[in-house]
Structure 1
């Protein structure tokens, strides 16, 4: 299958935050896949979406 998203070992923390919001995330999505990103509040779902969209690191530090 054709891979349309490939993320390998991505970590991110906001500003001077000592704890990482995302820690060593790896993900591959193939064309035609249907995925859901779920988890509790504060788990990093929106941060992951911001990374995938390219908003991180351009709009967040």
Structure 2
């Protein structure tokens, strides 16, 4: 799983999460659902990017990259 997270494309993650959050917040009837969905998508994508950086740093320390 960790190897998979380190290889996924962040643009694909951004698009998939935006679609998911858009449907979620629209179906919940959230006022300004598009702003909330975009903000949640940015936060989640940032978290995935940070995890990718941590995985890459750990792999470099172990000499795998």
Q: TM-score, normalised by structure 1?
A: 0.27
Structure (1 or 2) with the greater strand fraction = 1
Larger RCO, structures 1/2 (Cα 8 Å, 6+ apart)? 2
Structure (1 or 2) with the greater helix fraction = 2
The structure with the largest alpha-carbon Rg is: 2
